[in-house]
Amino acid sequence: MVGHIIIEKVTPDGECGRYPVKRVVGDVCIVEADIFRDGHQLLKAVLLWRREGAESFNEAPMQALVNDRWRGQFTPVDNVLHIFTIEAWTDRFGSWLSDFTKKTKAGKALKGDLLEGIELLRESHDSAQPGDRDLIARAIVELASLNAAAALAIFARPELVQAMDRADSRRDKTRYDSAVRVIVDRERARFGAWYEMFVRSQGSQPGQPGTFAQAEQRLPAIRDMGFDVVYLAPIHPIGETNRKGAGNSLRSKDGDPGSPWAIGNGHGGHTAIDPALGTIGDFERFVAAANRLGMEIALDFAIQCSPDHPWVKQHPQWFQHRPDGSIKYAENPPKEYQDIYPIDFDTPDYEGLRLELLSVIRYWIDHGVRIFRVDNPHTKPIAFWSWLIAEIQEARPDIIFLAEAFTRPKVMMSLAKAGFTQSYSYFTWRNTKRELTEYLSELTQPSVSDFFRPNFFANTPDILSPILQIAGPPAFKMRLVLAATLSPSYGIYSGFELCENVAEPGTEEYHASEKYEIKYRDWNRAGNIKEFVALVNRIRNANPALREFTNLRFLVTDSEDIILYAKATGNLDNIVLVAVNLDPFQSHYCTAFIPPEVVGVAPGQRYRVTDLLTGAVYEWGDRNYIRLDPAVEPAHILRIDDRL
């Protein structure tokens, strides 16, 4: 049969099916396509979707929009991979009825046109559903003695049109030539507040390493601040050879704990725990305690070794050797990591290597871990990640992978396409109104948003941004509000709530970095912002609009120092406006312009807003005055409460 129907420009399409797009359980997955054919016949189209492995597709009707654009939708309810495609066909009865109606109303319908319609009814009778056959048969009998004008009322009966639609044989049906895969993640993949900590710094005595038992005692306080995920820096045995000293010194002293990312010694490697922290049983109890409090544990997965890692002796072929036989240590010029050996993915034993790494992930899953923060994934082959994540999620689609990839944009996007659930982002270095607006506008639009889910970490053990170094608590509060309300997923590294801001001169590195020494902190010391962090997280949890990302809309203010944006649920049941003073040193004011449709009011209609940070209530309209003093509060988080 000659192909008449064209289906193209499908969205989302995963780059013509090469990569799966991402959604979350319960999301409405909206699919659009250009669908057309030669001639003027009418078309029908359906969206076909199923869980991977299911034998048959579910159908959802597609509706014509304008200019041959069609739209359909489905809602996945399971945390499994889904597949969708599109099918279209000529609506023979609908096309005939459209022409017959026009001719009849113009007085030009002929007996032949009437007979053609009756013949279509006869063709459909036998294939019709049992309940529809009598309906079609009665129509045929009625039509036999009528003229065209009288017949039109019968042909146009809604019940007959619906019966003919159900009986349509779809004789020339055409299917889109790609099946688009959809990774349907659990909600934590999109929404969560992360807290990063080093277990060894959770002790109660200065200089003494903390244990899992002591870290467990801190979990209620972390929960009370509103965090959902506790991310642990590596917990494995740390190498002795070339161990780094305090401040990244090349020479360590007795008692220096070394960098946790220099993994492995005589106690084991990636599936072992540093004995100073406890045992695997202690770890399991720690995980269980977090789960009871409603939190999950994320584990660092760093594919690298100290010179003392068991793999160095057991699998020397997994490492790159110099001509003299020595193994090259890791470098990222000008940085050098003399205590770390990188893995050589060009090893002849690549199959053995990747199976071993797969077994490491499976080991920790068996011990209760459902989230992995992956260290520097951009320095490993993207094809490896595509394989590893697919292998894990085939059996455990609930497992989440966060890419710590501060690298080039296209590499970050490729890692997301390869399967990473989330990624670190450039948020840490976006400070001005223009920078934030341009960056977020990029991230929230397809096709970027189909693949890439950012996690807005406000700081990390490697990154203490300049604004945090120089501006004190107002800057910490300002950056927290931005991270927590712009992105559904965000995180802080421990010490943020204490406003730790001392860096090595001229760098973004923390002074006395916790990467190389054990920290002891007074978690209740003066000047902390724990209550503010807890309040912001409560606001996030109470407002569904802040659980989404692509619903972000920037609004106009007449100040470059005050950024304003809105987030709303699809039915406008929950609308949040956020205004942030980006200058932590002085107060600023502006006029804020709120389009009525953003807040669901008529032009000129007034409405009441509540500042969820202070409890203050304001009456707002199309133009509103805002003044924000960072010494008081750097932001408004406003909920629309009443239309007046």
Residues 490, 456 contacting (CB under 8 angstroms): yes
pLDDT digits (tens, 9 = 90+) for 156-186: 999 999 999 999 999 999 999 999 999 999 9
In angstroms, rounded to a whole number, what is the distance separating the alpha carbons of residues 591 and 284? Answer: 54
Residue of higher predicted confidence among 144 and 266: 266
Looking at residue 644, what is its pLDDT?
67
DSSP string spanning 198-254? -GGG--SSTTSPP-HHHHHHHHHHHHHTT-SEEEEPP-S-B--TT--BGGGBSS--T
Domain ranges of the chain: 5-90+176-184, 93-167, 190-302+349-547, 553-643
The two beta strands, 623-628 and 588-593, are: antiparallel
pLDDT digits (tens, 9 = 90+) for 11-20: 999 998 899 9
pLDDT digits (tens, 9 = 90+) for 417-456: 999 999 999 999 999 999 999 999 999 999 999 999 999 9
Looking at residue 643, what is its pLDDT?
81
CATH 2.60.40.10 corresponds to the domain 5-90+176-184: yes
Residues 452, 418 contacting (CB under 8 angstroms): no
User: Which residues belong to the active site?
Assistant: 375, 404
Task: State the pTM of this model.
Answer: 0.95
pLDDT at 484 over 90: yes
pLDDT digits (tens, 9 = 90+) for 382-409: 999 999 999 999 999 999 999 999 999 9
The two beta strands, 81-90 and 400-404, are: unpaired
Looking at residue 1, what is its pLDDT?
57
Percent of the chain with pLDDT over 70: 100
Common-topology check for domains 5-90+176-184 and 93-167:
no
CATH of the domain spanning 93-167: 1.20.58
pLDDT band at 502 (very low <50, low <70, confident <90, very high): very high
**Torsion angle of alpha carbons 315, 320, 325, 331, nearest 10°?**
-120
Phi, psi angles (nearest 5°) of residue 563 = -100, 140
CATH of the domain spanning 190-302+349-547: 3.20.20.80
Span 274-284, mean pLDDT?
A: 98
Residues 81, 52 contacting (CB under 8 angstroms): yes
CATH 2.60.40.1180 corresponds to the domain 553-643: yes
pLDDT digits (tens, 9 = 90+) for 567-598: 999 999 999 999 999 999 999 999 999 999 99
Q: Which of 26-35, 116-125, 194-203 has the lowest mean pLDDT?
A: 116-125
pLDDT digits (tens, 9 = 90+) for 518-529: 999 999 999 999
The two beta strands, 553-557 and 229-232, are: unpaired
Q: Which of 52-56, 109-113, 210-214 has the lowest mean pLDDT?
A: 109-113
> Using alpha carbons only, what angle is made at residue 78 by residues 179 and 47, rounded to the nearest 5 degrees?
35
HSE at residue 165, side-chain half, CA atoms within 13 A, is 14
**Is 367 strand, coil or helix?**
coil
